[in-house]
Amino acid sequence: MDSEQLKVLIYKCKAGQQGAFDQLIALYADRCFGFLYRLSGHRQTAEDLLSELFIKLVEKIGTWDGGSFDNWIFTIAGNLFKDHLRADYRRKKLLQEKAGQLQTGEFAEARNDLEDKLQQALKRLEPEIAELIMMRFYADLSFKEMAERRNEPIGTTLCKMHRGLKKLREIMEVPEKQRPI
């Protein structure tokens, strides 16, 4: 679907057409799910967030200003994930206070059911860099678009991204034993 067709589709969504929303879900569900899954490492969380994302879209689609829709929708998805992390942190803290013996590490480990190489590598990156990499991969954004979204010079975004991708490559390519500590 080219950008003009996508624009028409979004205008139909703005008008509240059910069929248009179905098309939009078909178009973005997998990519948004992949993005949220890779960030959270947990299928159930990713599904909940995906559902929340599309419900939010019904209410917020009218505020889309005609710019890059991918940028817009993945920014909302990223914000939802951050909100989830904050809520999760508060919940864990509360549980720790109540139970006194709950180990956060174990809790996080038990929730993480996507244990492929990439997921393990992403866990070792700073959350900001991991989100940046996911944004580039799933939202298909250019460095220029990402820099604009983050309100920073393109050189800064490129350096952060390079640092993150280099680390990701090292973690994924170099075996555990040979990895520098």
Partner 1 sequence: MKETSQDIQRILEQFVDAQTAGRMVEDIQRADELMSAAATVKVRDEMVAAIREKVHRRLAARKIRNIRIRIEKFVIAAAAIIIVAVLAEVFFNSQQDVIPVGGALTTLSIWNDTDVSVLKGQVETLSNQMDKVDQTAVQWLDENNGLTVEVDNLEEVALNTEFWKG
Residues at the interface with partner 1 (CB under 8 A):
16, 18, 21-22, 25-26, 29-30, 33-34, 37-38, 46-47, 50-51, 54-55, 57-59, 114, 116-118, 133, 136-137, 140-144, 154-155, 158-159, 161-162, 165-166, 168-169, 172-173
Which is nearer to partner 1, 83 or 173 (by Cβ)?
A: 173
What is the C-alpha to C-alpha distance for residues 92 and 98, in angstroms, rounded to an integer? 10
Q: What is the CA radius of gyration of the chain?
A: 18
Q: To the nearest whole angstrom, how small is the minimum distance from the Cβ of residue 79 to partner 1?
A: 18
42, 111 Cβ separation under 8 angstroms: yes
Which is nearer to partner 1, 8 or 25 (by Cβ)?
A: 25
Q: To the nearest whole angstrom, how small is the minimum distance from the Cβ of residue 70 to partner 1?
A: 9
Which is nearer to partner 1, 47 or 148 (by Cβ)?
A: 47
Q: Which of 34, 75, 35 is nearest to 56 (CA)?
A: 75
Q: To the nearest whole angstrom, how small is the minimum distance from the Cβ of residue 144 to partner 1?
A: 7
What is the C-alpha to C-alpha distance for residues 29 and 13, in angstroms, rounded to an integer? 16
Q: To the nearest whole angstrom, how small is the minimum distance from the Cβ of residue 108 to partner 1?
A: 19
Phi-psi region of 113 (alpha: psi -120 to 50; beta: other; left: phi over 0): alpha
Which is nearer to partner 1, 59 or 97 (by Cβ)?
A: 59
Beta strand segments in 21-175, E? none
